[in-house]
Structures are given as C-alpha cells and as structure tokens.
Structure 1
C-alpha cells in the first residue's frame, strides 16, 4: 500500500499538471462512468493529500476522493512538469537523509538503482518531458512515449483525467468517489494528524493524546489512520526500530518521550520522503553504503524485509510476524 509520502508526491504532480486547467474525464473500465461524466469539462481548482488519501477539487465545489489502497496506481503520460521539490517523476517510494549535487559529486557520479532511476540528479529545476510514469507502491519507472495522443488505454482504467497535454490513468483504487465539501471535510476529520497538513506541534499533541488513551499495541496504532495519517508497513517497522520500541507495548504504556520522538521522526521522514522519493530510513551512510542503498532496496532499511537476517546493530536475527494481517519486522533484542 502506498504510504503517505507517495500520495503527497502524487498530489504535487496533479498540482503542477492539472490544477487551473479544464479536464476531460472518462472511465474506460466503466465502473466510474457516472462520476466521470459529472467531472468531465470542469476545471481542477485544487488538490491536497491527507495521509494515504488524495482530494482533488473541481469547480462548482465538487471533490474527487481517491484512496489507492493495496493495489491502486496512477499512471501519467504526456508533458510532465516535474516539481523541483520532489526527486523524480516516477514516484519511487521512500526517503533519504542526504541529497543534492554535492553528494553526487562526492560519490563520483550519478547513482542509479536497479530500475535505472537516478534519484539524486532528478532533484532540480522543473522540466517538460514526453514520458510515461507510474506513481504507486510498485513503481515501474520511466518509459518513452511513442507519440500517440491521447495514449491508448491499457488495462482496467477506473478513471482517466486528460488535459490538452497530460494524461493521468487510475487503476485499482480502493476508493474513487465524488464528494461534496461537507463530505470531504467529514472524511478528513476522521483521519489522524498529517505532518504536512496539520501544524506539527498541534499534530504532536493529538498523536500523544490518542496513543496515551489506547490499550492497543503501538505497532497497531501506528497503522491506524485515525491515530496518525500516512504511516504504512515500511515506515511502521522502521520507526519503531529507530525508537527502539517494542511493537507489542500498549500505547498507554509507551513513555510519552518515546511517543513524542516517534512523531517527530515521522515529521522528518515524511518530509524527506516527499522530497526524494526514496524510502531509505538509515542515516549517516558512507558514500559506498549510500551507493549500495541507492542500487538496492534491501540495503535501505534497518529491519523491514530482513526476516532471519542479523540485526544491523546487535546481530540478533530479525523476526517477522503477523500483526493485523500485515507483516511486522522487528529486532527482539534492540526492541525488547
């Protein structure tokens, strides 16, 4: 499931390519035909992300709410105006603690991962390109367009949004609905604080209060979008390890200073994730380790997807278990 940083990146892509432009909407799959007919011909006036959900406003105060869920993805094609505050157009997930051309020079050149993406040099000025990009948890990367416009429909497209220069296709979302302003506000009100939406200090107080009154494992609370917005399976495992917190401790028993540290870590990681698009939660890497991490997701995390491998800190085998039908990775010694 796409985590919060990826949805914010998608929203920024819509802001640059669709807001202020009339949009033709259709539902090639047919499952959103009535909604597409209502939206078609209207101008997109605003877009925002809250946690794992995106809300696009159209004139006459209509809102499109999209929750990608486990399998959803947006595919963009045409002229893609790349936001200089995000690392790449293809929506590759994650974050880093190092960025920019100075780092690239220190590493001796561009750093490409297995998908051929250079996440460092893609940070820079906006550029217009004729490309096809996918923004989802399972990114497929960039591909050259063949010049056909609009691009042919491929697969089960729930919703196609089209301007004169840019196309966005939505596939496999959990939710794709039209809402009134009141309905949109009611949806947002049910979500926990998002560091990129709420004032971080206000969000911290909300998060502390919500965790303190729950007799539920902190590992479950971090995935509860009513407690905090945007955290998914990767960030959950990594943030708990970074805090050296046992995932099974009830929220009300976690020390307030630890809860506060977890929130502040989320503030930092979410912002970096939106900027860079790399879900790399390890800090202070050497240039060699950095290059290795950029080339392989297996080298980007402390515990996630490392079941049976030695903990990077203590050497204990990382364990994996089921928590609310999701895989939880943690170190039984560092997080005892």
Structure 2
C-alpha cells in the first residue's frame, strides 16, 4: 500500500494538471459512472491529502475521496487521452492531460458530514501544516500497545506505513516492542520531527531514503540497494543482513499482519 508521501505527490500532480480548469470525468469500467457524471464538466478547485486519503474539490460541498489500498494505481499522461484500456475506475481529462485510476480500495463522493467523519477518525498527518502531534502523543502515552503497532494505526498517526515505521524507529534507537506509555515525550517529539523531515523528502523525490549521509552507498563503498520502493534504508526488507551501523543481523517478525524489521544492536531503548 502506498505510504502517505505518495498520496501527497498525487494531490500535487492533480493540482498541476487540472486545478483551475474544467475537467471531463468518466468511468470506463462503469463502477463509478454515477459519481463521474456528477463531477463531469466541473472545475477542479483544489486537491489535498490526509494520510493515505486523496481528496479532490470540484467547487461544491462534496469531495471526491480516493483510497488506493493495496492494488490501486494512477497513470497520468499528456493529451490527447488514448482510448481507455483495462479496468479504469475513473478517468479525469483536461487540456493538460489525463489521469486514469485503476483498482482503488475506495473511489466515492463524500457529503460534508462524511468528509468530517473521515478527518475525525484520522490521526495527525506529518505532511500537513495543520497537524497536531500532541493528539498522537495523548493516544500513545496512555497505550499498552507497542510503539511499532501504534505507528501503523492511522487513527494515531496518518500517513506512515511499514517502511517509515521501521526506519524512524531505527533512526531513533527505539525498540519496536516498547509500549507506547513507556515512550518518553522527548523521544516522541524526535520521532515526529523525523517523520516530518523524511516524509517531506519523500514528497520531493518520490523515493523513501532514510540513511544518513555517512551510510549512503557512496560513503560506505557498498552497492546501491535494489528494491521496488526505490530508496536506501537501514532495516526495511534487510532481514538477516548486517546492520549498516553496528553489523548485527537485522531481525524480522510479523506484527499486526505486517512484517516488522529492526536491529537488536541499535534499537535498545
């Protein structure tokens, strides 16, 4: 499932391609035909993200809400838009190009009350200027649940996924099984600041890179990492390999249905 920086990049691409312009909308697949008809011919006035949720504003109280889930993908292209191929749930097209959405978990129009309920159930998003990290801290500081599980709970912090979760805990030296209520306020503030910086860099580059300058391939004389998420990391998907910092084998186990990665040598607190 894409992490939050990807959704913010998608919002920016929608703004670049469609904002302030009349947009044609259709559902070649047919599953969103009624919704597409309601936004067809309207002007996109804004696009934003909250966690892993993309929200498009077509100038009324409703919002187009897209959640990609595991299989959802966007394809953007220049005009003229070709004939749709495959199961295109939604196509938006304008004078600057087109966007095809395939396989999302959710593609729907939300009324104002539904928009509010969606935002209310999400934790703060490190990429949003209105984010309040104290909201997340209040939930974390009274929880017996492990910090690794809490960072994957979108009602606690919205946006980070499995990669950012593993990497920020490594960078801050926090063991993943530490109960939230045993995490210090100072350590939480460091985790939050790191998420803000790492995810902003992810928006800028389209990659998840988490290694510090002294641990890059160039600095260490090691081969670049080859992985479909496209970035340099400390522990994610490095089970059994030596830690880039201390040399201990990186460990993995399943936590709440997802593979967790950590270094027993570096993550002791």
Same fold per superposition (TM over 0.5):
yes
- Higher RCO (CA 8 Å, separation ≥ 6 residues): 1
Q: 2:92 aligns with which of 137, 161, 173?
A: 161
CA contact (8 A) 2:25 2:40 kept: yes
Paired with 1:70 and 1:40, the residues of 2 have a C-alpha distance of 27
Match of 2:265 in 1: 333
Tell me if structure 2 keeps the 8 A contact 1:210–1:227.
Answer: yes
DSSP-derived class of the 1:169 partner: strand
CA contact (8 A) 2:126 2:159 kept: no
In structure 2, the CA distance between the partners of 1:299 and 1:240, relative to structure 1 (3 Å rule), is same
> Would you say how many aligned residue pairs link Structure 1 and Structure 2?
265
Structure 1: gaps of 5 or more residues: 80-148
Q: Secondary structure at the match of 2:45?
A: strand
CA deviation after TM superposition for structure 1 residue 229, in Å: 1.0
SS at match of 1:16: helix
Q: More displaced, 296-305 or 315-324?
A: 296-305
User: Cα offset for 1:316?
Assistant: 1.4
Corresponding position of 1:90: none
Q: For the residues of structure 2 that align with 1:234 and 1:281, how far apart are their CA atoms?
A: 9
Does 2:142 match 1:213?
A: yes
TM-score by length of 1: 0.74
CA contact (8 A) 1:292 1:299 kept: no
SS in 2 for 1:23: strand
For residues 23-57 of structure 1, the C-alpha deviation after alignment (integer angstroms, 9 at most, x for no partner) is 11111111111111111111111111111111001
Q: Which aligned runs of 4 or more in structure 1 are off by greater than 3 angstroms?
A: 289-299
Q: 3-state SS of the aligned residue for 1:17?
A: helix
- Is the partner of 1:234 in helix, strand or coil? helix
Unaligned runs of 5+ in 2: none
Residue 288 of structure 1 is matched in structure 2 by 218
Distance in 2, Cα, partners of 1:299 & 1:21? 35
